[in-house]
A and B are shown apart, each in its own frame.
Chain A
Amino acid sequence: MFFWIQMGEYIQFAWIALKANKIRSFLTTLGIIIGVATIILIFTLIQSINKYVEGEFANIGSTSVYVSKFPWVITNNYFELRNRPPVTISEYEALENYSTYARWISPNIQAMRTIEYRSKSLDDVLTVGCNDEFTETNNVATEYGRWFTPLEVSHGRYVCIIGETVENELFDKEDPLGKRIKVGGHPYKVIGVLEKKGNFFGFNMDNQVLLPYTAFQGYAIHRRGITVAMKVDDPNDLEDMKEETRGIMRRVRKLSPKEEDNFAINQQDMLTNLYKQITTTSYIVIFIVGGISLLVGGIGIMNIMLVSVTERIKEIGVRKAVGATKGQIMLHFLFESVVISALGGIIGMILGVLSSGIPLNLMKLDASVSVATVILGLGFSTFVGIVSGMYPAYKAANLNPIDALRHE
């Protein structure tokens, strides 16, 4: 209780002292301002990007695997991977026949096609050949209309489901259901419209058309290969499904035990892991950069506090004469250095958050300012204040009152 009654006093003492040397106090705290602003700026940027990326990754689905020629994360062996055979429709069929863990499975054949409706046309629309289970494996659903039926897929019916952008571009206010559009010159009946998906890493997910893969004309784009999406019901089965899929693929491709896999089984955590690696590195970098500037700022504070103690030896003597204990003098100067540096921390925090608005605005991201940001800014600066104030405060506390009073 004693301490808390006095805490306000110490802050007031510190404030009086800082006000008496405004320019000096400001220059002293500048190092902390710059250090904290840097840390907060980068921290806010990373956090905001994180939030965005996490949202994007949710699109991929954590209980799915995606079998394809290339892994999502290619480090340095692209030229070896290039020689792999593409994943084919017959391999998809083998997986569908033999997989016991996959609850849902769909091929994913992609090409860019021109879409036409009456006099209007839309170039370079992502056209996806899939089956009736694609809605589960790839987390897509129709806004209205309906999904493919198994029969439509097995019989190769000329039906399609369009994305919102396609709907808006081609149909104005007309109801697209039941209308015939041309995809790459072939006529398809629109049976559904996809829910709005927005952008996925900048790619407009609503600018696409889904077809039954059996009705995908000219899918002898074979050379590029397809992706097979597989999804489990129970997340605990994911690893088993991966192993089983690997076994089926190796068997189908007749790989000898000595040969490596020549296909990739992709899943969400490959991307999240990669992303985590990148952010961990950037965190380390900001802590080093910020740490150095805070160290420099801290040295500045220590230096000024030593000057301040020397200037005020007589004052310290007076305070001791009227009954200030060592601890009280120590706290007095510690608070002074903490107030300087915490003020710098607050200003730096505000500057950091404000300046993060500019790049975030350019990237069209929302700023994410968390409690962690505030704790980080205040915590770091307070810590620097305590550490750099310790020695000057100790020096002040241990002055002999008689010598201090006599000091001119």
Chain B
Amino acid sequence: MSERSLIQFENIQKTYILGLTKVHALRGIDLQIKRNEYVAIMGPSGSGKSTLMNIIGCLDVVTEGKYFLNDNDVSELKDDELAHIRNKEIGFVFQTFNLLPRANALHNVELPLIYNGTPASKRKELAIAALEKVGLADRMKHKPNELSGGERQRVAIARALVNNPSLILADEPTGNLDTKTGAEIMEIFDNLHEQGNTIILVTHEAFIAEHARRAVHLKDGKIEYEENNKAANRRSRKEEV
């Protein structure tokens, strides 16, 4: 490999067995994502984008092919090794936020740190820093049901950031939000990208995907086509100037 990729997919296939029939969710995907890329994965439902996201996020393993994350072959890891990778390398942001309902914002953000044994004082410090990045430090004692949808998603983003992962994986992050709040959330992702984070968005909405610099379109378990988002690139170039 001349240039090191963060994610390297080599002929990834995923087959589910449903009763007597085999469902080929992914039929051979080759994909490279470099550090600090901002990629949208798009496609209609049934195109395999959820499966692909699960595999990228190490929630699932491939049936065939090789997946290198940070040059490590993660395609044949065991459950607990995958759990460690998820903890260290990946920050998830879900459509439904998926916060712990009984824990306050701070505790929710601390959660990944608890599972890697970070001492309590250090944990609090890191969690507060992450909440500050999403502008929610003043609401850290609030429980999810005391927060608005946008605030909840920002807590979820802080949780994804807290471990300083290699990759932020967002699955329809604005799907449960109104347009205005969604735009605010997307602005946070844009900023995170500016700060050097690698972001993968899974979405079926074109105007969300427009935030990414590169879009990968899936159809029937294969990459249909890729495109560079000229508008976004132009926007960011303009900002640089």
Contacts and interface: CB of A to CB of B under 8 A. Distances in A.
Contact of A323 (B83, B94, B103, B119): B83
Contacts, number: 66
A159 B83 CA distance: 93
A6 B100 contact: no
Nearest to A19: B102
Contact of A322 (B60, B86, B102): B86
Contacts of A60: none
A315 B79 CA distance: 18
Interface stretch (A297-305, A324-332, A333-341): A324-332
B80 interface: yes
B19 interface: no
A314 B59 CA distance: 14
B60 A325 contact: no
B87 A322 contact: yes
Task: Sort chain A's interface into a size bin.
Answer: 20 to 34
A320 interface: yes
Task: Sort chain B's interface into a size bin.
Answer: 20 to 34
B83 A320 contact: yes
A402 B98 contact: no
A405 B111 contact: no
A111 interface: no
Contacts of B117: 2, 5-6
A405 B79 contact: no
Interface of A: 2, 5-6, 8-9, 16-17, 20, 314-315, 317-328, 401-402, 405
11 contacts: A5-B117, A20-B102, A315-B100, A318-B111, A320-B59, A323-B87, A324-B83, A325-B80, A325-B115, A402-B60, A405-B59
Closest 9 A/B residue pairs (Cβ): A323-B87, A322-B112, A325-B83, A325-B80, A318-B98, A323-B115, A323-B86, A324-B115, A401-B59
Given A16-B102, A328-B83, 18 more contacts: A17-B102, A315-B100, A317-B98, A319-B111, A322-B86, A322-B92, A322-B112, A322-B159, A323-B83, A323-B88, A323-B112, A323-B115, A324-B83, A325-B80, A325-B84, A325-B115, A326-B83, A402-B60
